[in-house]
Amino acid sequence: MFALPDAWRQVFSIISLPAAHSCPAAGAVPTNSSKPRLALVRGVPHTFSSCITMEKSEAAIDVELARKQHSDYVNILRGSLLVDHVVELSPMDEFPDCPFIEDTAVVIGSKALITRPGASLRRGEVEAVEAELRNLGFEIHNVEPPGTIDGGDVLYVQNTLFVGKSMRTNSRGIEALARAFSPIPVVPIDVAETLHLKSVLSPLGRNSFLAEETFHAKQMLELIRKASMDSCDCVFTPHQGAANLLWVGNTLVYPSAYPCGSDLAELYANSAERVIPANISEFHKGDGGLTCLSIVID
Ligand code: GLY
């Protein structure tokens, strides 16, 4: 558990989930010190302000600002040398959601599962991603109808695939994931009242999670804990969307559009070798978080 000043506790509540087993989802990402080989990203189309949203944001998406934020994000991956290589796919105006490239493929080792996105309007996004991954030499797997799965529902940590069963990902999609990456264990997690599993929780340091402070996010964490091998510490944020953190190697990228006082900054600093803020406010308006904007491949 982190040593936290009292002031911090006023903003976030903290629970330690006791269990007989360790929580495999928590430790693996932050402790992987090897630099990932590459990241795939996809730029912002002119139509981005028409992307799919669960609730219309009060403020409209500023597409030019989104472009600037996307470029800053790519510069974090490339310029901060978080990955060896960044592959940038061209945006397509037919697919307003195409910057959320995470949803289009799950890549582990030499294998890539090309998803069949749950939103039918997004299905055409996968073609260019499949072509790129094939070209890069990955063994390609596909999802047959009626299976659907979004990469935003897939959390791969400590050799376990936790996958959200959500409005976008169904049982057949989860079966396709299990087939593609057998023998990696797959643990389905029921996702309620949010878009994806990773919309509301993500690993934070060794054996810890940052999650939204909601009944449903807590339930999802409990399911992860039950399927796991140890206790995990959980830190909760009241800010919707703020719990999606991007880990690359030992670097933590956090969403700076949400309030982050000095106490939370200290917590981040204690969790990672390097901490980098990224403001992606325009992508939050489209229900996106930091992980949505890339496929990072170890
Ligand atoms: N706007 C992201 C999604 O709905 O998939």
Residues 40-80 have pLDDT tens digits of 999 999 999 999 999 887 899 999 999 999 999 999 999 88
What is the residue-averaged pLDDT of the chain? 87
Q: Please check whether residue 232 is in contact with residue 18, taking contact to mean a CB–CB distance below 8 angstroms.
A: no
Q: Is the CB of 282 under 6 A from ligand 1?
A: no
Q: Is the CB of 125 under 6 A from ligand 1?
A: no
Q: Please check whether residue 279 is in contact with residue 244, taking contact to mean a CB–CB distance below 8 angstroms.
A: no
Q: Please check whether residue 185 is in contact with residue 160, taking contact to mean a CB–CB distance below 8 angstroms.
A: yes
Active site residue 292: yes
Q: Is residue 14's pLDDT more than 80?
A: no
Q: Is the CB of 97 under 6 A from ligand 1?
A: yes
- The ligand 1 atom at the shortest distance from the C-alpha of residue 103 is 5
Q: Is the CB of 241 under 6 A from ligand 1?
A: no
Radius of gyration of the chain (CA): 18
Amino acid identity at 251: T
> Other CB atoms closer than 10 Å to residue 116's CB: what's the count?
24
Least confident of 9-13, 121-125, 160-164, 264-268: 9-13
Give the tens place of pLDDT for each residue, 147-158. Answer: 999 999 999 987
Identify the architecture of domain 39-297 in CATH.
Answer: 5-stranded Propeller (3.75)
- Identify which of 33-47, 118-132, 208-222, 263-277 has the greatest average pLDDT: 118-132
Global pTM value: 0.89
pLDDT of residue 206: 67
Q: Rounded distance, CA 155 to CA 35, Å?
A: 19
Q: Is residue 3's pLDDT more than 50?
A: no
Average pLDDT over residues 161-167: 97
Q: What single string gives the DSSP state of each residue in 17-76?
A: EEEEEE-HHHHHHHH--SPPSEEEEE---TTGGG---SS--SSPP-HHHHHHHHHHHHHH
- The ligand 1 atom at the shortest distance from the C-alpha of residue 286 is 1
Q: Which of the four pLDDT bands, split at 50, 70 and 90, describes residue 249?
A: confident
Give the rounded percent of residues in the chain with a pLDDT score beyond 90. 70
Q: Please check whether residue 220 is in contact with residue 201, taking contact to mean a CB–CB distance below 8 angstroms.
A: yes
Ligand 1: centre distance to CA 97 (Å): 6
